[in-house]
Amino acid sequence: MLYYSLNKQAPAVDFKNATIRGQAPDKGLYFPETLPRIPESWFKDIENKTNEEIAFEVIKPYVGEEIPEAELRRIVKETIDFPIPLVKVKDHIFSLELFHGPTLAFKDVGARFMSRCLGYFAKERSEKVTVLVATSGDTGGAVANGFYDVDGVEVVILYPSGKVSSVQEKQLTTLGKNIHALEVHGTFDDCQQMVKQAFADESLTGKKFLTSANSINVARWLPQQFYYFFAYKQWADKANPPVVCVPSGNFGNICAAMLAFISGLPVRHFIAACNANDVVPRYLFSEQYEVRPAIATISNAMDVGNPSNFVRVMQLFENNFIDLRHMLSGYTITDDETRQTISRVKNETGYLTDPHGAVAYLALQRYLDEHPQQKGFFVETAHPVKFYDVVEPVINEKVAIPESIAGILNLPKRSTEMEPVYTKLKEYLLS
Ligand SMILES: *Cc1c(COP(=O)(O)O)cnc(C)c1O
């Protein structure tokens, strides 16, 4: 499989090079040259397949010969070694729970898959890869965890001192081994700036094999399809395919779902559920695509003013607005509506959503109110405890901390403090 740049000013590359580079040299996103077609008979048999088989067969055409089969099977197995259940919430509404991974958010799957692919490619080159990331909180945890103890990969994470939550800081600083946390006395923008300077510094990149763990990387994007195949396997009413509602920020997750659909996965309709950052719902309504600065909301992982993966969504529909509009609806949900939904769903059904899941729940409900014959699921992208500061006052109850997180709260923090100055970072990387 080759990947071309959506800016069309750079050569096509294989999976290995697309993974190592992340973004094409012309700053375009990589996109597969051909989209695999999965036959109907495969879906008829899906209940007899294990998740590992499903994931392996889905990802195989994208990886091609770049990773040997046995190795790819191992990578897939390690990537999805936690449950991804489809849970009934109400008559026509189900929840696809993507928060059972180690950092309690769906980004675990993409981060784990990418890290293991990179680890494999690094071994082949017999040269260590250093993954350099700046984080404002959440991505860092998923990356740290996903890359933890992967051979041949060192991870350096810059975070702004005192500006991430205590749970997030523990997720970054307690792992040790190949994960190194730099506690920068500055802002997230300082961290981001230092990282950018490192990538642009040839006197550094000539000596060190540096890469980013950016969310546009094909090795993070493509494995997100797995969730939707697993959901279909658990979907009881196969004659009536689901409406799929995804809380969206950068549109990587929903784009993977739509790619699965183009490959043959039965889906009735897609819904992009957004908070106040609603460039795409507005576009679907007016055909005007207007990028705006991000607005802060209580579903902050979706506070994106210019969703980077939306060009891929457009490409899946060959840039045809009518075809896209036929398959995709968008909804804008306010913070007040999000809080009300968390409370109402909890009271009516006992099910507790996090703010992102609540945005998706309400969007799905609005759509189903207008399409009463249909059924669907929303994607619950994070465990409610990750957003306890929003959730607890709304439900007037404490949210229990799952074991997996409780364990790290008592571990000692290990970080290297650093002034927000690029030369300090460079010294550190070269030492
Ligand atoms: C990243 C994230 C999202 C948004 O996913 P995209 O792929 O960027 O659209 C939604 N919810 C949570 C909890 C996230 O961490």
3-state secondary structure (DSSP) of residue 332: strand
Specify the pLDDT at position 336. 98
Instruction: Compute, in degrees rounded to 10, the torsion defined by CA atoms 92, 97, 98, 102.
Output: 180
Most ligand 1 atoms within 8 A of CB, residue of 171, 253, 300 to mutate = 253
**Kind plus residue range of the DSSP H or E element containing 340:** helix 335-349
Q: Is the CB of 381 under 6 A from ligand 1?
A: yes
| DSSP assignment letter at 229 | H
Task: Choose between 337 and 136: higher pLDDT.
Answer: 337
Amino acid residing at 48: N
Residues with Cβ within 8 Å of 269's Cβ and at least 6 positions away in sequence, in order, are: 243, 244, 327, 328, 329, 367, 371, 374, 376
Is the pLDDT at 404 greater than 90? The verdict is no
Q: Can you list the domains of the chain with their CATH numbers? A: 83-105+221-400 (3.40.50.1100)
What average pLDDT does range 222-227 have in this prediction?
98
Reference 139, options 240, 197, 215, 66; nearest CA is 215
Specify the pLDDT at position 189. 81
Q: Is the CB of 279 under 6 A from ligand 1?
A: no
Residue the block writes with tokens 């008592």: 410
Ligand 1 atom at minimum distance from 224 CA: 7
Q: Is the CB of 227 under 6 A from ligand 1?
A: no
Structure token pair of residue 326:
């036929």
What average pLDDT does range 199-224 have in this prediction?
90
> Cβ–Cβ contacts within 10 Å for residue 237, how many?
8
**Per residue, what are the HEC states of 110-160?**
HHHHHHHHHHHHHHHHCCCEEEEEECCCHHHHHHHHHHCCCCCEEEEEEEE
Task: Choose between 175 and 403: higher pLDDT.
Answer: 175
Q: Is the CB of 249 under 6 A from ligand 1?
A: yes
Reference 146, options 162, 161, 157; nearest CA is 157
Structure token pair of residue 63:
């990886």
Q: Is the CB of 248 under 6 A from ligand 1?
A: yes
Is the pLDDT at 164 greater than 90? The verdict is no
3-state secondary structure (DSSP) of residue 360: helix
Structure token pair of residue 308:
């980077």
Instruction: Compute, in degrees rounded to 10, the torsion defined by CA atoms 145, 148, 150, 153.
Output: 100
pTM value is 0.93
Most ligand 1 atoms within 8 A of CB, residue of 99, 244, 250 to mutate = 250
Q: Kindly report the average pLDDT of the chain as a whole number.
A: 94
Helices (H), 237-317: 252-262, 279-286, 310-316
Protein residue closest via CA to atom 1 of ligand 1 = 301
Task: Choose between 341 and 25: higher pLDDT.
Answer: 341
Protein residue closest via CA to atom 2 of ligand 1 = 301
Task: Choose between 167 and 238: higher pLDDT.
Answer: 238
Task: Choose between 206 and 346: higher pLDDT.
Answer: 346
Taking the C-alpha atoms of residue 189 and residue 134, their distance in angstroms, rounded to an integer, is 9
Task: Choose between 385 and 60: higher pLDDT.
Answer: 60
What confidence tens digit (pLDDT) does each residue in 73-132 have?
999 999 999 999 999 999 999 999 999 998 888 999 999 999 999 999 988 877 788 999
Is the distance from CB of 180 to CB of 172 less than 8 angstroms?
no
**Ligand 1 mean position to 402 CA, how many Å?**
21
Q: Is the CB of 59 under 6 A from ligand 1?
A: no
What confidence tens digit (pLDDT) does each residue in 116-162 have?
999 999 888 777 889 999 887 777 888 898 899 988 899 999 999 98
Q: What is the DSSP string of 77-102?
A: HHHT-S---EEEEETTEEEEE---ST
3-state secondary structure (DSSP) of residue 24: coil
Q: Is the CB of 316 under 6 A from ligand 1?
A: no
**Ligand 1 mean position to 33 CA, how many Å?**
26
Is the distance from CB of 278 to CB of 310 less than 8 angstroms?
no
Specify the pLDDT at position 155. 95
Is the distance from CB of 107 to CB of 216 less than 8 angstroms?
no
**Ligand 1 mean position to 251 CA, how many Å?**
8
How do beta strands 30-32 and 2-5 pair? Answer: antiparallel
What average pLDDT does range 177-196 have in this prediction?
91
Taking the C-alpha atoms of residue 215 and residue 217, their distance in angstroms, rounded to an integer, is 5
What confidence tens digit (pLDDT) does each residue in 269-302 have?
999 999 999 999 999 999 999 998 888 899 988 9
Mean pLDDT check: name the lowest of 144-158, 349-363, 397-411: 397-411
Specify the pLDDT at position 261. 98
What confidence tens digit (pLDDT) does each residue in 13-59 have?
999 999 988 889 898 999 999 999 999 999 999 999 999 999 999 99
Specify the pLDDT at position 105. 84
Is the distance from CB of 86 to CB of 94 less than 8 angstroms?
yes
CA atoms within 13 A on the CB side of 408: 21
**Ligand 1 mean position to 124 CA, how many Å?**
32
Is the pLDDT at 190 greater than 80? The verdict is yes
**Ligand 1 mean position to 142 CA, how many Å?**
12
